[in-house]
Amino acid sequence: MAAYEKRRAAAAPAPAVGSGPAEPLGAAAGGGPGGEAEFLLRSGVTAMVREALLKVLEARPEEPVSFLADYFERLVLGGPGAAETAAELPAPPQRLARALWYVRLAHHSHRTAFNNNISTAYEVLGASGRRRRPGVDGRLYSELLRRICQLGAAPQEVSGALLRRVQCRDHEAVPFDVFRYGVLTCSVLLEFVAKAHALYDVLDGGTGAADKRVCQAVLRTLEEALGGGDCSVPVRYLEAGSKLGPDCLALAMDRALQERKLSASMSREEFLKKATALFVAKVKPVD
């Protein structure tokens, strides 16, 4: 121990002449043994890291490292509390970007985390300064839904049709249950489009063009599966589609191929439009 202290004393630079009394060695080292922990507590790093970890557990992001990087970046750029206080982002573009960041953190299948993130996004959009309305502004709500739809590969006309069903008027105050329904519906649409893409990859067999008879048979089967879904719960659309097992689809495709007729091909774009139109038709419009 004595040798260790001697090495530390030798390594410490000597104070400049006239610079005032030298700082005690114990203070410079953070208080001797245990000084590192004391420094972390005194500087607030411990509390900051603990809060960041709690945010990770609360949000359950699909990419925790990216979440932490973004969290600390916002903390540094905005100053103390910027990662927590939505009121420090008064400009609508900033609030929209922040709300979009929150709704994308967790997949909708993680219901608790997804609902918590939607609640935070709702508070962010509602933080418009001193005067607060009972709900989020309809214009910001509709713009958030539009940005969510842009994240996927949904055809533009399909996204437009969906938005017309779930958006609100610009001057309306949007209650939380409507806000959650709209965000969840748009998020489910993105996954539905991704599954439709994967399904077409199977139908075209890598050729880039699928048999039109087979595509129509699959679309009819998909429509039948969606027919009994609960219109009030968007996630049920995916659950209904998941019931289309390989056997069910194989039978539909075999029946279509048994028709000894010449058939044109159906492009990916056409298949996606028809499949996603089935989804939109099941969405319950917002009153």
Q: What would the pLDDT profile of 1-27 be if each residue is shown by its tens digit?
A: 444 444 444 444 444 444 444 444 344
pTM metric for this prediction: 0.65
- Residue 40: count other Cβ atoms within 10 Å of its Cβ: 15
Q: How far apart, in whole angstroms, are the C-alpha atoms of residue 166 and residue 161?
A: 9
Q: How confident is the model at residue 196 (pLDDT cuts 50, 70, 90)?
A: confident
Q: Where are the beta strands (DSSP E) in 117-207?
A: 136-137, 173-174
The tokens for 4 are 């260790």
Name every residue whose Cβ is closer than 8 Å to that of residue 79 and which is 6 or more positions away in sequence: none
Q: Where are the beta strands (DSSP E) in the chain?
A: 136-137, 173-174, 210-211, 265-266
Average pLDDT, the chain: 74
Q: What would the pLDDT profile of 225-245 be if each residue is shown by its tens digit?
A: 777 555 556 666 555 555 555
Q: How large is the C-alpha radius of gyration of the chain?
A: 28
Q: How far apart, in whole angstroms, are the C-alpha atoms of residue 154 and residue 248?
A: 26
Inform me whether the pLDDT recorded for 148 exceeds 80: yes
192-195 contacts at long range (C-beta below 8 A, 24 or more positions apart) = 192/237, 192/238, 192/241, 192/275, 192/276, 192/279, 193/152, 193/153, 193/154, 193/272, 193/276, 194/152, 194/153, 195/238, 195/241
**pLDDT (average), residues 252-256:** 56
Question: 155 with 271: CB under 8 angstroms?
Answer: no
Question: 108 with 187: CB under 8 angstroms?
Answer: yes
Inform me whether the pLDDT recorded for 110 exceeds 80: yes
